Structure 1
Amino acid sequence: MSLPDTAKATHADTGQSGEASGLPCRAGAGFKPQHADAIFADAFRIGFLEVHAENYMGAGGHPHRILTRMRADFPLSIHGVGLSIGSPTGLDPQHLARLKVVTDRYQPEQVSEHLAWSTHESHFLNDLLPVPYDEATLDRVCDHIDQVQNTIDRRILLENPSTYLGFEASTMSETDFIRAIARRTGCGLLLDINNVHVSATNHGYSAGDYLAEFPLQSIEEIHLAGHAQDIDDCGLPLLIDSHDRPVDDLVWDLYEHVIAKLGPLPTLIEWDNEVPDWQVLKREALLADAILDRHTVRHLGLRHAS
């Protein structure tokens, strides 16, 4: 069963509301419970909050009490990290059922997942691993996305991966693979710009060329994060998608390029490790908001001029 056409809107269908998929076209932040008091006490109101689905798959307790309170005041995005969309052994029906309970409970403005796999038989691997870009994997990923969307009765966004190796078996580019998924399943796309920079550096291609080939009009949310820098065994740069520091200047440049081309989009600041005080996350969000505001004015001017 496929989703109805009305559920397959893309960024091009957002109309005049200034919103895509219900999230405001502002900067949001990954929500950490230790920030709750600071968020409520701050006169600055973050655009939206995003949580990992797996942190709220229990039936109750303190995490749910806090998130219920936050949900009353802020738009919410739920981001999955454990569905294993690319798994060759199929989706875990219990995990998928738990995801449905979370989305039914909180009615988020957006739900997203990664183009990756993280399970093997009965084992869960605490990582987001790459998939080969070939027809068999494309069929499998599309089937899994259809299964997810039909189970939770809503569209999801699929996030581009950060990768450290490629598969000789791949027969298409990552951008062609992602474009085909969006076309076949009707899902939207979450563009993680840090992932673009990390992968481009690790594989030695141009991040700008990648973005030129990416199906930009299907993007409904953007992620920004920090990365760690290392050197591989050949002495070449190796970037790790660590989510433990501020957004890199080169990632900000790529972000401004995308926003200049498309106009404002909901933008999340991810910071999952070595989590700082709320004021540090707020500062990153304000940097993103400044870029969004600048291009909101520009795009409104272009609209009125036409």
Structure 2
Amino acid sequence: MTKTDGTTILPVEAESTPRFPTYSVAGRAGTSFKPEHLAAIAADSGQQGFFEVHAENYMGAGGPPHRALERVRRDHPISLHGVCMSLGGPRPLDKEHLSRFKTLIERYEPALVSEHLAWSTHADTYLNDLLPLPYTGATLAYVCDHVDQMQAVIGRTILLENPSTYVLFADSSMNETDFIREISRRTGCGLLLDINNVFVSATNHGFSALEYLRDFPLSKVGEIHLAGHTEQEDDEGELLLIDSHDGPVADAVWRLYEIVIARGGPIPTLIEWDGKIPDWPVLRAEALAAQAILDGHAFRREASHVPG
């Protein structure tokens, strides 16, 4: 992996005896892991794909959260998803936070590691939100520096997630897909394509979600997110979508997902559900719906390569 200054990031040597089994997430659909589902997950003998956890929920040294996650990790791959690194902020990364993130990677050996293209800190305060940034040359430079730094410290290539946005910046000189493409080119990072975020932003700002996806560098995508959103009205009474993660995936987002999978193949897919948590069978059904789409397109691709 090459940094923007031309130097090389050397991977961290793997431990001789991994703590957990190695599982592939290729072509699999998974869900957010919620501790209240632990017993149901353990009792469920069906296909469960992989589980995503937010890194910041596990930065304590021990206790019930770690006992639950260790139990899940023994039998399943996990995706470690950061929400507070503030890669899009102008301030230097928090070295202590980055160190704790690295410790989690070493502890749980996740199959995927990801963060957001957003900022969430001001001075010494962590904000409970993922805030947008202007797409300018200056912003691009420090975002790439932050991605380089994160990847160098953790010894892993990360996946960078496209944001959901509710405002645009007048001083942006690049569109979002070009900005994301250039980050990946300069840093070597992969991408996490959140299709619900695309739909939310497209609806809020009046652009075409399909055109955005046609322009997105799909070859760099290592994971897809699907989630629910809610409808509100802005101050002018216009429709405003909120990336709320508190309900099922919308039909329009499923349709976009099928288009992406038809073009890009069976990319690992995660159902995010973080509020109004349903019973396990409801969440699992969403993942099984995604798995059916992944399997269907994988089958069609294999069939198209069978000699006649």
* TM-score between the two structures when normalised by the length of structure 2: 0.92
Select 2:289's aligned residue among 287, 290, 293. Answer: 287
Q: Superposition RMSD on alpha carbons, in Å?
A: 1.6
Match of 1:239 in 2: 241
Select 1:248's aligned residue among 247, 250, 254. Answer: 250
Match of 2:58 in 1: 56
Match of 1:208 in 2: 210
Offset of 1:97 from its aligned partner? 0.6
Residue type matched to 2:175 in 1?
Answer: S
Residue deviations 1:266-294, cap 9 Å, x none?
00000001111101101101110111111
Match of 1:138 in 2: 140
Offset of 1:36 from its aligned partner? 0.6
Tell me, in whole angstroms, the C-alpha distance in 2 between the residues paired with 1:22 and 1:245. Answer: 28
Match of 1:76 in 2: 78
Amino-acid identity (%):
61
* TM-score between the two structures when normalised by the length of structure 1: 0.93
Tell me, in whole angstroms, the C-alpha distance in 2 between the residues paired with 1:116 and 1:239. Answer: 18
Offset of 1:45 from its aligned partner? 2.5
In 2, are the aligned partners of 1:230 and 1:240 still within 8 Å (CA)? yes
Moved more, 104-113 or 23-32: 23-32
Q: Are residues 1:115 and 2:117 paired?
A: yes
Match of 1:129 in 2: 131
Match of 2:191 in 1: 189
Tell me, in whole angstroms, the C-alpha distance in 2 between the residues paired with 1:211 and 1:136. Answer: 25
Tell me, in whole angstroms, the C-alpha distance in 2 between the residues paired with 1:108 and 1:273. Answer: 24
Tell me, in whole angstroms, the C-alpha distance in 2 between the residues paired with 1:87 and 1:180. Answer: 17
Offset of 1:41 from its aligned partner? 0.5
Offset of 1:169 from its aligned partner? 0.9
In 2, are the aligned partners of 1:39 and 1:45 still within 8 Å (CA)? no
Tell me, in whole angstroms, the C-alpha distance in 2 between the residues paired with 1:303 and 1:244. Answer: 40
Matches of residues 265-304 of structure 1 in structure 2 within 5 Å? 265-304=267-306
Tell me, in whole angstroms, the C-alpha distance in 1 between the residues paired with 2:100 and 2:40. Answer: 30
Tell me, in whole angstroms, the C-alpha distance in 2 between the residues paired with 1:6 and 1:200. Answer: 38
Offset of 1:303 from its aligned partner? 3.1
Match of 1:97 in 2: 99
Secondary structure of 2:259's aligned partner: helix
Tell me, in whole angstroms, the C-alpha distance in 1 between the residues paired with 2:289 and 2:132. Answer: 31
Secondary structure of 1:72's aligned partner: helix
Secondary structure of 1:184's aligned partner: helix
Residue deviations 1:40-94, cap 9 Å, x none?
1012131101100001100111111111111110011100000000111111111
Residue type matched to 2:292 in 1?
Answer: A
Residue type matched to 1:153 in 2?
Answer: G
Match of 1:230 in 2: 232
Tell me, in whole angstroms, the C-alpha distance in 1 between the residues paired with 2:110 and 2:266. Answer: 20
Q: Are residues 1:26 and 2:28 paired?
A: yes
Offset of 1:6 from its aligned partner? 9.5
Residue type matched to 2:121 in 1?
Answer: T
Residue deviations 1:167-217, cap 9 Å, x none?
011000000000000000000000000000000000000000100111111
- Unaligned 5+ segments in structure 1 are 8-20
- Unaligned 5+ segments in structure 2 are 12-22
Tell me, in whole angstroms, the C-alpha distance in 2 between the residues paired with 1:277 and 1:28. Answer: 15
Offset of 1:300 from its aligned partner? 1.0
Offset of 1:104 from its aligned partner? 0.7
Tell me, in whole angstroms, the C-alpha distance in 2 between the residues paired with 1:229 and 1:100. Answer: 37
